[in-house]
């Protein structure tokens, strides 16, 4: 506990630094009192458990310290914590909601399948804590079924809360909205960087939720993979404070196929420790279940490791859901790769069509070549979050128009998962099998057609190197003899993908933490799921310039920075240099950048780095 005690304000030390601090003399005016306290330490079986136990103890200490200080210094604020409804009460709310849903649902094959999945979840929830998976194709009601299993499983096993970790903020926002409608806002905490709690109508509830983000003392938490995993490997008190509330919980990993390969070993090791040592039940849920059990083989024997054991699938494979929910035919286009004009020409033949590509530039180039009759929209991260959200809403409204209304959308992968849209035709640039199936999930989603069509095409330009190339090559390495929607195809795909991975532990966590001389600070700095070589730039969209003036006048505050994040775009280094040379970027405060000129932000495609002013000669 030395490290936790010494670092409860500053953060956990690397072992060598901690030993140096221990050599220092205690000031003479410090009174040391002996405290008789006994800790019930869980039994540790493996070296990988040690750092998590230390961090859990640290979490208990930090949270207790903060709560005691708050109770003394801010008693009114302290009273806002806790007092939530029990999971048993929430179970009743969910049962009532689902009962009403079924009563009003038409008797269709899809609804019958959704009901079957829920019945399996109810049956399997009775079992003991452990590892579970829920593999349900798009349209099978995976989100509600996973929460149904989780809440009944938690009540049965006396678990404290449900934590849902999701890779994409678009899915988080949608999932949290559904859960709030069932359980009430006071029982669902949405915790990610895009949440702005200052706009809430109920100020006391907003304050309660803001406080709950500090320690996750809430019945249901919906958060990001980044928030969850980087906290589990953090050394900072603010990040670690919530960790002890993960113990004795149900953890749902949604879209689990997106777990980063480079960090798979420490992540899977963490799952194992959470389950064995801290009594956590873990549910892996997706339409594209990866291989996480048994021996995971990398590109050579030195990068292989043991996966999890005894992952129990809730829906038996004999249920044949992938075939019963089949609504799309995937067509891989053979022959020559296409240029942007040829792709745009193919898309333009369809009046209601979605095209998903791998890069922002590809999306912009294809969009610029499409005819602008009817409704033609572009979606990419060159658009700020507020603009993305508004455009997705426009797509959803447009799809409710009469079937003869022309609707064409070109997007990057941001629309690929967690966005409930339904097109009869989808085009997908070549990619990994999981991405192609996600794109196909936006096609004939509601089963209104006998069969939708998803076309997979290649561009003449190469796919970006790295992960995108790895995933596409893994799919190509499978050959063509597969039912692409089957569990067998997904297993073969992930084995192909793993065989191309050079490391499952990019941060070298095993050497830094799986020993008694733990390097907490170094490990925390190395464990970064997103390699961010971008700069966040505020763009001129809606009232962003008014907020910026407030920032300059009032100084940096959490609420203002949160609001401005909705009007920011992450710019890659090359584009940033280009914009700086043109004098487009201004640094208004240290580390706060803005592009004021409206001509650099298009209402169609977002931030443009090829503005015609960049090409103009300067005339004096």
The 3-state secondary structure of 278-301 reads: HCCEEEEEECCCCCCECEECCCCH
What is the secondary structure of 220-280 as a DSSP string? EEEEEHHHHHHHHT---HHHHTTGGGTTTSEEEEETGGGS-GGGHHHHHHHHHHHHHHH--
Q: What is the pLDDT of residue 613?
A: 44
Length of the chain: 620
Fold for 327-484, please state it: Rossmann fold (3.40.50)
Q: Do domains 1-325+500-531 and 327-484 have the same CATH topology?
A: yes
CB under 8 A, 24+ apart: contacts of 291-300? 291/491, 291/494, 291/495, 291/498, 292/256, 292/268, 296/264, 296/268, 296/498, 296/504, 297/495, 297/498, 297/499, 298/498, 298/499, 298/501, 298/502, 298/503, 298/504, 299/499, 299/500, 299/501, 299/502
Residue 435 and residue 428: Cα distance in Å, rounded?
Answer: 9
Beta-ladder partners of 595: 539
Buried residues in 199-221 as b, exposed as e (16+ CB within 10 A): eeeeeeebebbbbbbbbbbbbbb
Query: 50-73 and 264-278 helices cross at what angle (nearest 10)?
Result: 70
Q: Is 21 left (phi over 0), alpha (psi -120 to 50) or beta?
A: alpha
Q: What is the edge-to-edge ordering of all strands in the sheet holding 568-572?
A: 568-572, 534-539, 592-595, 586-589
- Biggest distance spanned by C-alpha atoms of the chain: 84
The Cβ-side half-sphere exposure at 483, using a 13 Å CA radius, reads 9
Contact between residue 411 and residue 380 where contact means Cβ atoms under 8 Å apart: yes
Q: What is the pLDDT of residue 202?
A: 64
Residue listed under structure tokens 């490391």: 503
Assign 175 to helix, strand or coil: helix
Residue 218 and residue 225: Cα distance in Å, rounded?
Answer: 18
Q: What is the pLDDT of residue 199?
A: 54
Residue 373 and residue 407: Cα distance in Å, rounded?
Answer: 9
Report domain extents, the chain: 1-325+500-531, 327-484, 534-615
Quick one: how far is CA 529 from the chain centroid? 11
Structure tokens belonging to residue 378 = 């572009």
Q: Where are the beta strands (DSSP E) in 498-589?
A: 534-539, 568-572, 586-589
Residue 213 and residue 112: Cα distance in Å, rounded?
Answer: 38
Q: pLDDT for 290-327, tens place per residue? A: 999 999 989 888 888 889 988 999 999 999 999 888 88
Residue 525 and residue 399: Cα distance in Å, rounded?
Answer: 45
Residue 497 and residue 204: Cα distance in Å, rounded?
Answer: 48
H-only helix segments in 79-141? 87-104, 109-124
If residue 364 lies in a helix (H) or strand (E), which one and from where to where?
helix 360-369
Contact between residue 144 and residue 323 where contact means Cβ atoms under 8 Å apart: no
Kindly report the CATH number that applies to the domain delimited by 1-325+500-531: 3.40.50.300
Contact between residue 310 and residue 430 where contact means Cβ atoms under 8 Å apart: no
Q: What is the pLDDT of residue 616?
A: 41
Q: pLDDT for 488-545, tens place per residue? A: 999 999 999 999 999 999 999 999 999 989 999 999 999 998 876 788 999 999 999 9
| Residue ranges, the chain, pLDDT below 50 | 612-620
Considering just the CA atoms, what is the radius of gyration of the chain in Å?
A: 26
Q: What is the pLDDT of residue 315?
A: 95
How many other C-beta atoms can be found within 10 angstroms of the C-beta atom of residue 517? 11
């Amino acid at each position: 506990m030395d490290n936790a005690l010494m670092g409860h304000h500053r953060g956990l030390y690397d072992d060598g630094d901690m030993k140096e601090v221990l050599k220092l003399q205690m000031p003479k005016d410090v009174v040391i009192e002996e405290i008789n306290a006994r800790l019930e330490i869980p039994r540790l079986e493996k070296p990988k458990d040690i750092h998590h136990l230390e961090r859990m103890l640290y979490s208990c200490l930090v949270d207790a310290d903060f709560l005691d200080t708050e109770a003394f210094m801010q008693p009114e604020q302290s009273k806002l914590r806790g007092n939530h409804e029990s999971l048993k009460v929430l179970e009743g709310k969910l049962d009532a909601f689902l009962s009403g849903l079924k009563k009003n649902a038409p008797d269709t094959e899809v609804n019958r399948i959704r009901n079957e999945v829920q019945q399996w979840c109810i049956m399997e929830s009775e079992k003991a804590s452990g590892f579970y998976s829920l593999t349900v194709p798009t349209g099978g009601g995976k989100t509600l079924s996973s929460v149904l299993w989780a809440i009944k499983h938690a009540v049965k096993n006396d678990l404290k809360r449900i934590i849902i970790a999701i890779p994409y903020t678009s899915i988080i926002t949608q999932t949290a909205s559904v859960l709030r409608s069932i359980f009430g806002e006071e029982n669902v905490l949405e915790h990610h960087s895009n949440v702005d709690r200052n706009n809430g109508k109920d100020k006391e509830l907003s304050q309660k939720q803001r406080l709950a983000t500090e320690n996750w003392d809430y019945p249901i938490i919906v958060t990001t993979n980044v928030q969850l995993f980087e906290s589990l490997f953090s050394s900072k008190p603010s990040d670690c404070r919530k960790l002890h509330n993960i113990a004795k919980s149900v953890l749902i990993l949604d879209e689990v196929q997106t777990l980063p390969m480079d960090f798979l070993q420490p992540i899977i090791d963490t799952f194992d420790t959470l389950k064995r040592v801290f009594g956590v039940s873990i549910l892996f849920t997706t339409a594209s279940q990866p291989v996480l059990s048994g021996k995971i083989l990398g590109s050579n024997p030195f990068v292989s490791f043991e996966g999890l054991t005894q992952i129990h699938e809730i829906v038996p494979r004999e249920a044949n859901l992938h075939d019963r929910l089949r609504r799309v035919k995937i067509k891989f286009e053979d022959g020559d790769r296409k240029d942007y004009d040829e792709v745009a020409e193919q898309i333009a033949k369809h009046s209601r069509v979605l095209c998903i590509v791998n890069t922002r530039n590809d999306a912009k180039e294809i969009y610029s070549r499409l005819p602008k009759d009817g409704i033609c929209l572009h979606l990419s991260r060159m658009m700020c979050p507020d603009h993305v959200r508004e455009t997705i809403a426009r797509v959803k409204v447009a799809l409710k128009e009469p079937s003869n209304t022309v609707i064409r959308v070109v997007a990057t992968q941001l629309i690929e998962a967690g966005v409930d849209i339904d097109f009869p035709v989808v085009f997908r640039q070549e990619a990994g099998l999981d991405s192609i199936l996600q794109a196909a999930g936006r096609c004939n989603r509601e089963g209104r057609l006998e069969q939708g069509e998803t076309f997979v095409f290649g561009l003449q330009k190469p796919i970006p190197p790295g992960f995108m190339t790895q995933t596409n090559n893994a799919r190509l390495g499978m050959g063509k003899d597969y039912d692409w929607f089957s569990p067998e195809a997904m297993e073969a795909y992930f084995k192909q993908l793993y065989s191309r991975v050079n490391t499952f532990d990019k941060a070298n966590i095993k050497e830094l933490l799986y020993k008694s001389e733990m390097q907490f600070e170094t490990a925390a700095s190395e464990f970064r799921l997103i390699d961010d070589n971008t700069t966040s730039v505020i763009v001129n969209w809606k009232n962003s310039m008014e907020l910026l003036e407030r920032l300059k006048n009032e100084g940096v505050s959490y609420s203002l920075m949160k609001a401005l994040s909705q009007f920011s775009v992450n710019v890659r280094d090359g584009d940033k240099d280009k914009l700086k040379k043109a004098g487009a970027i201004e640094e208004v405060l240290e580390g706060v950048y803005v592009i004021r000129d409206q001509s650099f932000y298009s209402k169609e495609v977002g931030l443009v780095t090829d503005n015609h002013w960049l090409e103009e000669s300067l005339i004096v």
